[in-house]
Amino acid sequence: MQQIGGINGRVADAPSNNWVYRVLPQWLWPYAQLARWDRPIGWQLLMWPCFWSATMAANAAAHLGQFSGGQLIFHLVLYFIGSVAMRGAGCAYNDLVDHKIDMEVARTRSRPLPSGRVTRTQTKLFIVLQALVGLLVVLQLNWFSVILGVASLAIVALYPFAKRFTDWPQFFLGLAFSWGALMGWAAIFGSLGLAPILLYIGAVVWTIGYDTIYAHQDKEDDELIGVRSTARLFGDKTKQWLVGLYGLMLVLTFAAFVLAGVGIIAYLGLLIAAGMFAWQIVTLDINDADQCLVLFKSNNRVGLIIFAGLFLSLLFILP
């Protein structure tokens, strides 16, 4: 078994007891690592804006007498599959672009490309395969959604380069990761409105917040190799920035909910999310990399709570 940085075929910043290493044959491990299947937090954070938008649209459709439970469940399944596939393709593409940078960062040099366990050609083919799965998913939706989904690829292509020319790469990540906040609504109504646009902007701001926490893990290496981030930009004022970012996210999401006419439980979910944001800010130690990772991952629960509130709120709207 190949030794990579003292870890048998694993990567340094992923759990070694993940299902990937228990279920998949060893020759597939590098591809699972490229797609980050051993780190589900990425596709989860990509998925939640899709789920929020779909269930918020379902709330609005229920007021119009157009709600379809079967359609909602079908769309949620599609967004799950699409999130896993497109997050995997995006991560592999990011690794392709950051190949040389990853070789200089302690946390990333054991990844499949910098460690030499896959070639650039193999990575490109894997990206295409996952992108085709994503295309198959989006083709199940209306044509407005198809066009909207394809449009997101421009932002996805730009993101890996953002850290080279701006202190705000997290903003570009937010633009890409939050696109589902537009897709869920568009897939039901075949158009957009102010509610999904506000939800999208709120999700972008949320992404900047949680990815700033994540970026504090790498700030020392980033400084040495000249990679820019909001973690380096905000520095010791990160907590103050998070108050503003998370606060703005809550305001924008609340406004989106009002415009969509969601049920009362959705607001309760948002209130719980506010408490979780406060906990992140109060407990954050930007110099504790392990804690930063824990707080970053806790945003999966934030996403789940907001979705649960929207989903359960349908009970108060449906006749």
What confidence tens digit (pLDDT) does each residue in 215-262 have? 998 777 666 677 788 989 999 999 999 999 999 999 999 999 999 999
Cα torsion 215, 199, 262, 295 to 10°: value is 0
Q: What is the pLDDT of residue 240?
A: 97
Q: What is the pLDDT of residue 174?
A: 95
Superfamily of domain 26-317 in CATH is UbiA prenyltransferase (1.10.357.140)
What backbone phi and psi angles, to 5 degrees, belong to 285? -120, 105
Q: Contact, 124 vs 31, CB < 8 A?
A: no
* Whole-number average pLDDT of the chain: 90
Question: Cα angle at 209 between 203 and 210, to 5 degrees?
Answer: 90
Q: What is the pLDDT of residue 186?
A: 97
Interval 85-101 mean pLDDT: 86
**What confidence tier does 9 reach under pLDDT thresholds 50, 70, 90?**
low
Q: What is the pLDDT of residue 87?
A: 93
pLDDT at 316 over 90: no
The set of residues, in sequence order, having a beta carbon less than 8 Å from that of 288 and lying 6+ positions away, is none
Helices (H), the chain: 19-23, 29-34, 41-63, 69-97, 99-102, 112-115, 120-138, 143-165, 169-177, 180-189, 194-215, 219-225, 230-234, 238-260, 264-283, 289-297, 299-313
| Cα(217)–Cα(18) distance, integer angstroms | 21
Reported as a single tens digit per residue, the pLDDT across 36-85 is: 888 899 999 999 999 999 999 999 999 898 889 999 999 999 999 999 99
The domain limits of the chain are: 26-317
Reported as a single tens digit per residue, the pLDDT across 145-198 is: 999 999 999 998 888 888 888 989 999 999 999 999 999 999 999 999 999 999
Tell me the pTM. Answer: 0.91
List Cα–Cα distances, 277 to 127, 201, 236, 269, 302, in angstroms: 34, 17, 18, 12, 8
Q: What is the pLDDT of residue 13?
A: 59
Interval 14-40 mean pLDDT: 84
